[in-house]
Structure 1
Amino acid sequence: MSPTKKASFILSPLVSLIVGRKQRMFVAHEDVLSRSPFFNAVLKDQFVGDNPEKVIALPEEEPEILSCVLEFLYKGDYYPRLVHNKAQDVWELEGAKQDYSTPDGSRSRSSEATFFHPGAGGLVLRDTAVYCAAEKYGLGELKRLALRKQGLQSGIPIDVILRSARYAYDNTPDSEYRLRAHYLAMIIRTRHIFKDSGTMQFEMEMGHPLFFDLFVAMCNHLDDLEEMSMNH
């Protein structure tokens, strides 16, 4: 952020954000919040004039996710940051550490990939929740960043993947396809793991739009493979 822009938002009025079921308070500058179409509309509709008591209630939001959104609005990224490993010429997550076992028993690199979401009833991928929040707040660049970061995660337990996929479907409009397509592709790509999963069977019996889309995607995948074999 340039010094001029920084000076500008420092002089901006402060807005209090009351977040989640426990009503945690966050404070942010109005000029920074207004970069989000969602917050810009709320600030224009609800607060007229120079009323210093500006408070926005977000009872359905998770404090940890809003913290990521605010960090992005101020800094252009959120923890763990996306950093370039010059030695290997790859992008990776800052402070990546060994903390997940893959289905074959090996260790996989991850960096605080999940958090407990009360609304989802368990652990979900943070980047999925951030993506859904970015959709809500109209932050397209944050959506792209969250999806890119999620693509760097691996070794996530099957139940977390399925719960996160459900969360993605439940918290994005039907017109949104990038995150949903990411999950469908991931499940198809690692179907040898999912097909023997009791968790997967239970989830399918429960029923969810995710599994209809997965069925269609699998059929299309098989059709593509058949067409390729016929052409060769």
Structure 2
Amino acid sequence: MADSFTEDIIDDAPSVNQSSTQQDVEMTEGGASASAAASNDDAAAANGGELPFAEGVPEDTPAPPRITFLQYLTSPMVTLLIGNGENETVLTAHQQLLTQSLFFAERCAEFTNDGSPRQIELPGEDLDAMGCFLEFLYTGDYFPKKIAGQRTLEKDPSIPEVDYTGDQLLKHAKVYTLAEKFGMTNLKNLASSKIHCVNSTAKGEIAYARYVYEFTPKDDTSIRAPVANFWATRSHTLRAEAEEEFRSLCLEFPQFGYDVLTRVLDEKLKRERNEKMHPGPSSARKRPRHSSTNA
């Protein structure tokens, strides 16, 4: 997906001390800041020219204390059971870090202080994706990291430069769906941006598309829509490299085939409209002439 048709590369997520539930407000000229100023002016006029406290909060109200990283590390440990049976793996993490996730905040709220073990079972989660999730909680990123100023990822001798099987794409796609489940928007955006840094093949893209269409909702625009756009603009070449796999994918996920076809037809209609609006000097094509000679 390194050269995907439509993609919005999103910068790396903020550091670990920043809550995943915090929402940024864009303060643009004439936007939110101007509206707030106008509201304050109206309030001042209604109060005889005196401005009220902002949102009813006294000016001397202290800001909430910053949570230090030491406070994260001194919070109780939570045991995470990933998988089940012989494939079960035990991981641990500090509770204060886990509660940055809406999912874990709700689960941790159920814990009691009576000495019972703080334990959460996650039998259906991917172990590698969970490792990336925990790495993000503690460091603000996960391996491989994006190289600053470039659309590439860190090199690892154990990882081939070209993703022939789709494993590299699937790694980030699984982190994406895990972040969606856990309510970690920053991590979801980071995983989405890394998908576009992977250099893959047609078969790798098919494995990735199959996962995306199986585990993401129909209205997903972050990674599902770019998959359809990618195949719509390159299906004539990619299909030749993996025609049987492409056919199987279309039969397995009819929505994929429909999305690709819709984009191909939309692009064709767009070209036809442009040709009608801006006809070229040779737009009128003549029927080829054939001459024959009598024996």
Query: Does the 8 Å CA contact 2:170/2:211 hold for their aligned counterparts?
Result: no
Match of 1:145 in 2: 190
Q: Which of 22-31 and 195-204 deviates more? A: 195-204
Give the RMSD, CA atoms, in angstroms. 2.7
TM-score, with length taken from structure 2: 0.64
Matched, 1:14 2:59: no
Query: Does the 8 Å CA contact 1:113/1:127 hold for their aligned counterparts?
Result: no
Taking the TM superposition and a 5 Å limit, the aligned residue runs for 1:1-232 are 5-21=68-84, 22-44=87-109, 46-49=110-113, 51=115, 53-84=117-148, 89-95=149-155, 109=162, 114=167, 125-154=170-199, 156-196=200-240, 197-232=243-278
Match of 1:104 in 2: none
Q: Where does structure 1 lack aligned partners over 5 or more consecutive residues?
A: 101-107, 116-123
Structure 1 segments (4+ residues) deviating >4 Å: 1-4, 96-100
Cα distance in 1, alignment partners of residues 262 and 115 from structure 2: 53
Cα distance in 1, alignment partners of residues 158 and 80 from structure 2: 35
1:188/1:149 Cα in 2 relative to 1: closer, same or farther (>3 Å)? same
Q: Where does structure 2 lack aligned partners over 5 or more consecutive residues?
A: 1-15, 18-65, 279-295
Cα shift at 1:90? 2.1
- What secondary structure does 2:198 align onto? coil
Cα distance in 1, alignment partners of residues 107 and 267 from structure 2: 43
The structure with the greater share of residues assigned to strand is 1
The letter of the residue matching 2:71 is S
Task: Spell out, residue by residue over 1:74-112, the C-alpha distance to the aligned partner (whole angstroms, 9 max, x if none).
Answer: 11110001121xxxx424211256965xxxxxxx556x9
Cα shift at 1:8? 0.8
- What secondary structure does 1:90 align onto? coil
Query: Does the 8 Å CA contact 1:36/1:137 hold for their aligned counterparts?
Result: yes
1:79/1:212 Cα in 2 relative to 1: closer, same or farther (>3 Å)? same
Aligned residues: 211
Cα shift at 1:113? 6.7
Cα shift at 1:73? 1.3
TM-score, with length taken from structure 1: 0.80
Query: Does the 8 Å CA contact 1:93/1:152 hold for their aligned counterparts?
Result: yes
Task: Spell out, residue by residue over 1:183-213, the C-alpha distance to the aligned partner (whole angstroms, 9 max, x if none).
Answer: 1122123222233222112222334422222
| Structure of greater relative contact order (alpha carbons < 8 Å, 6+ residues apart) | 2
Cα distance in 1, alignment partners of residues 171 and 255 from structure 2: 22
Identity within the alignment, %: 25
1:204/1:69 Cα in 2 relative to 1: closer, same or farther (>3 Å)? same
Cα distance in 1, alignment partners of residues 198 and 206 from structure 2: 15
Query: Does the 8 Å CA contact 2:75/2:95 hold for their aligned counterparts?
Result: yes
Task: Spell out, residue by residue over 1:122-155, the C-alpha distance to the aligned partner (whole angstroms, 9 max, x if none).
Answer: xx6211111111111111111111111110111x
Cα distance in 2, alignment partners of residues 188 and 98 from structure 1: 32
Cα distance in 2, alignment partners of residues 43 and 99 from structure 1: 36
The letter of the residue matching 1:5 is T
Cα shift at 1:159? 3.0
Q: Which of 166-175 and 70-79 deviates more? A: 166-175
- The structure with the largest alpha-carbon Rg is 2
